[in-house]
Amino acid sequence: MQEIFLEEIAIHDIVTRLGDEITRDFQGEEVYAVCILKGAALFFSDLVRAIKLPVQLDFMQLSSYGSGSASSGQVKILLDLASSVEGKNVIIVEDIVDTGLSMHYLMENFRHRRAKSVRLCSLLSKPSRRKVDVRVDYCGIEAPDAFLVGYGLDYAQKYRNLPYIGVLKPEIYAKN
Ligand code: 5GP
């Protein structure tokens, strides 16, 4: 690891704030929280416990960067939701919005499925890397243009179980 970007305690504070924001915005309603596997799994499990509302959980997996670190720009649904989102308040829970291509595609997809509302909650956002405009309704923190791992984020399926988020040494992914 080159350096630590977010310590465990900082992650906890961010998750609590995001949970409070969602709780406030959806008072008196139910939300349908959609975890984008695998990267958002740890964030998702902490976030849903910080939302003080009735919450239904569902899971989706999109095609990812494979085992490398560069985006292909192609989005594919590898695992779809278990139930319909029609008429529901969907909150997509993502780890990082980078180019924005995946979330741009998915938010449009949910609107076609006639969700009542579609909002995006992302722990991290890299605005300097955007290729398409995506509104992150609940944003944890802006991240630098560096490759991050830990707290669900992987490099070649490793590091997901780290309790903090760190910057991976470029030598590690430059080899591929
Ligand atoms: P986008 O479609 O916005 O370019 O891609 C977002 C996805 O790329 C994230 O869900 C995540 O899987 C991956 N990604 C983007 N930046 C990073 C990073 O710094 N570290 C890791 N591990 N994955 C990243």
Q: Where are the beta strands (DSSP E) in 49-98?
A: 55-62, 77-79, 89-97
pLDDT digits (tens, 9 = 90+) for 125-145: 999 999 999 999 999 999 999
* pLDDT band of 175, cuts 50, 70, 90: low
152 lines ligand 1 (CB under 6 A): no
* pLDDT band of 75, cuts 50, 70, 90: confident
* pLDDT band of 176, cuts 50, 70, 90: low
Q: Where are the beta strands (DSSP E) in 38-88?
A: 55-62, 77-79
Q: What is the CATH number of the domain that holds 111?
A: 3.40.50.2020
What total of structural domains would you count in the chain?
1
**Gyration radius of the chain's alpha carbons:** 16
174 and 147 Cβ atoms separated by less than 8 Å: no
pLDDT digits (tens, 9 = 90+) for 109-120: 999 999 999 999
Q: Other C-beta atoms within 10 Å of 34: how many?
A: 27
* pLDDT band of 70, cuts 50, 70, 90: low
Residue 150 lies in a domain: no
* pLDDT band of 67, cuts 50, 70, 90: very low
Question: What range defines the domain where residue 88 resides?
Answer: 7-145
d(CA 9, CA 3): 16
On average, the pLDDT of the chain sits at 93
Residue 172 lies in a domain: no
46 lines ligand 1 (CB under 6 A): no
107 and 92 Cβ atoms separated by less than 8 Å: yes
Residue 35 lies in a domain: yes
* Nearest ligand 1 atom to alpha carbon 39: 12
Residue 81 lies in a domain: yes
Residue given tokens 């406030």 in the structure block: 24
122 lines ligand 1 (CB under 6 A): no
Residue 133 lies in a domain: yes
Active site residue 98: yes
Residue 167 lies in a domain: no
Catalytic pick among 25, 80, 95, 98: 98
DSSP structural state of residue 168: P
Residue 139 lies in a domain: yes
d(CA 55, CA 71): 32
